[in-house]
Chains A and B, each alone.
Chain A
Amino acid sequence: MKKFDENMLKTLKEQIRAAYGVELETQGHVVLQTGENKIRFTTEETYELALNFRGVANIGVYVAKSRKKFTLITIEGCMFTKLLAGANLVHVSKEQALSWMKGDPVEVGPVSAKTVIGMYGKHFLGSAVVDVNGTAYPQIPKWRRIPPTIS
């Protein structure tokens, strides 16, 4: 667990802005780099207290993950963002939102960006990678997917 310094924070914010066109709001939070390139947010008080404990397995909330080609942003990560003009958002229907949360590909039409944030109404659905045909591949972890209905 490594605390982000100013430079790391600046780079992260730039990556998020470039990928999704949103501003990551870090004020009032401690930003941490943890295993598997996961980026987590917590509060200063929580961080200070955790330093005194043995066997800390997890801290705060997982907001983003640095990958080779892009930075993934989680559903909770979206809640720490400020939408900028021209943000890479795709608004989906209820059916599409359900497919999204099942981890299934969703047709979103041609978009200029390779990575987008999904929204149903005002509810964030996390990020997705979009291919040239306009199909979004939601980055939903397996444990969080709506289970497929058994017929």
Chain B
Amino acid sequence: MNVNLSEELKSFLFEFVPDRFEQLVESYEKPFPETFRVNTLKISQAECLELLAEDGIEATPIPYTEDGFYVKPPGTVSTTLWHMLGYVYVQGPVSILITELLDVKPGMKVLDLCAAPGSKTTHIAAKLQRRGVVVANDVSRTRIKALASNMQRCGVVNGFITLSDGRCLGYRHRRLFDRVLVDAPCTSLGIGSKDWSVLKYWTVRSSQRLGRLQRSLLLSGYQALKPGGSLIYSTCTFHPFENEYVVSALLEKFPDAKLEPLNIQNLSYEKGLESWQGVNFPSEVTKTVRIYPFHSGAEGFYIAKIIKPG
């Protein structure tokens, strides 16, 4: 069975990545590797790897993350005793990288604005080492169930979940958080190999519509940030409407906001665009990065790190 792209997606990708189109479609046809991180709130990394090795599971470090591992043979970790006890968390490699880029330190107050199902929230909690607070917000009551289960399984004591519209939350709690993560809902083109239907039904309009939501979420997240704090804006999609346009809107509204250049070791990636279809973005936007599935061998993501001057 071959991957089926919508006509609009085909024409967008032909225009957007003309020389990498085939490579991208090929990567959609491959399943993601199984990767995980050790939940250091419950067990040390060395001890956990030993337990997995006893079960015949080989863990190889992901070269561009600090905490991530590839699993061999794949598909074996998620049904182990250790997974159910909350020692391991199955998570995509780029998703692991995003929390690492947020640079969370123990004692900080951290907001995860669109938190469900909690992969990044529980990673943030591990980075906090039970000091400080992680606030996990999501707008969906259904998705919050998975978030609550994962926070429980990982033993997150210093965190709470709020069921709230992320577009308003930041305005109610201005300048409160040292770190904010806005991992916004998106059209998911970067994880198309998990669910081909997103490729089949993608339209430019869906990117435009989500772009408006993402803009509101990012502005809200920025409001919640303390002066001197930093924010990561990420999406698992490629279209500039959901990425460069959103970051540009923030820079337009808050001209003093700065983008921090991201330097990711052992991973190829592309810089944010300078312009798209005749629209020029602020030069700061080129400090953002776009990771394609053929770069990471897994998910594709767009990542921007924004600093609020203190």
Q: How large is the interface on B (under 10, 10 to 19, 20 to 34, 35 or more residues)?
A: 20 to 34
A79 touching B155 in the complex, CB below 8 Å, given contacts A53-B160, A56-B161, A146-B84: yes
Instruction: Please report the C-alpha to C-alpha distance between residue A79 and residue B158 in the assembled complex, in whole angstroms.
Output: 15
Verify if B10 is at the interface (C-beta below 8 Å from A). Answer: no
B212 neighbours in A (Cβ, 8 Å): none
Verify if A59 is at the interface (C-beta below 8 Å from B). Answer: yes
Verify if B74 is at the interface (C-beta below 8 Å from A). Answer: no
Verify if A75 is at the interface (C-beta below 8 Å from B). Answer: yes
Verify if A33 is at the interface (C-beta below 8 Å from B). Answer: no
Instruction: Please report the C-alpha to C-alpha distance between residue A54 and residue B164 in the assembled complex, in whole angstroms.
Output: 8
A144 touching B81 in the complex, CB below 8 Å, given contacts A49-B135, A55-B162, A57-B148: no
A79 neighbours in B (Cβ, 8 Å): 42, 155
B159 touches A57 (CB 8 A): no
A62 neighbours in B (Cβ, 8 Å): 152
User: Per-position contact with B for A73-85: 1 when CB-CB < 8 Å, else 0?
Assistant: 0111001000000
Candidate in B144, B149, B156, B159 with the most chain A CB atoms within 10 angstroms: B159
B156 touches A61 (CB 8 A): yes
A46 touches B157 (CB 8 A): yes
Residues of B243-273 contacting chain A, CB below 8 A: none
A85 shortest CB reach to chain B, Å: 26
A57 touches B163 (CB 8 A): yes
A52 neighbours in B (Cβ, 8 Å): 173
Instruction: Please report the C-alpha to C-alpha distance between residue A42 and residue B133 in the assembled complex, in whole angstroms.
Output: 10
Verify if B151 is at the interface (C-beta below 8 Å from A). Answer: yes
B79 touches A54 (CB 8 A): no
Q: How large is the interface on A (under 10, 10 to 19, 20 to 34, 35 or more residues)?
A: 35 or more
B158 touches A43 (CB 8 A): yes
A46 touching B81 in the complex, CB below 8 Å, given contacts A58-B148, A61-B152, A62-B152: no
Verify if B175 is at the interface (C-beta below 8 Å from A). Answer: no
Verify if A132 is at the interface (C-beta below 8 Å from B). Answer: no
Verify if B105 is at the interface (C-beta below 8 Å from A). Answer: no
B132 neighbours in A (Cβ, 8 Å): 45
Candidate in A56, A94, A145, A147 with the most chain B CB atoms within 10 angstroms: A56
Instruction: Please report the C-alpha to C-alpha distance between residue A41 and residue B162 in the assembled complex, in whole angstroms.
Output: 17
Instruction: Please report the C-alpha to C-alpha distance between residue A76 and residue B87 in the assembled complex, in whole angstroms.
Output: 12
B85 touches A55 (CB 8 A): no
B69 shortest CB reach to chain A, Å: 20
B79 shortest CB reach to chain A, Å: 6
B157 touches A29 (CB 8 A): yes
B86 neighbours in A (Cβ, 8 Å): 75-76
Instruction: Please report the C-alpha to C-alpha distance between residue A55 and residue B164 in the assembled complex, in whole angstroms.
Output: 6
A50 neighbours in B (Cβ, 8 Å): 160
A55 touches B163 (CB 8 A): yes
Show the binding face of A for B, using Cβ within 8 Å.
Answer: 29, 41-43, 45-46, 49-50, 52-62, 74-76, 79, 94, 97-98, 101, 120, 123-125, 143-147
Known: A42-B157, A57-B148, A76-B86. 19 other contacts (CB 8 A): A42-B160, A43-B130, A43-B158, A49-B109, A49-B135, A54-B172, A55-B164, A56-B161, A57-B162, A62-B152, A79-B42, A79-B155, A94-B81, A97-B81, A101-B85, A123-B81, A123-B85, A143-B149, A146-B79
17 contacts between A and B (CB under 8 A): A45-B132, A45-B158, A49-B160, A52-B173, A53-B160, A54-B172, A55-B164, A57-B148, A59-B161, A60-B157, A61-B156, A75-B85, A94-B81, A120-B81, A143-B149, A146-B81, A146-B84
Show the binding face of B for A, using Cβ within 8 Å.
Answer: 42, 79, 81, 84-86, 109, 130, 132-133, 135, 144, 148-149, 151-153, 155-164, 172-173
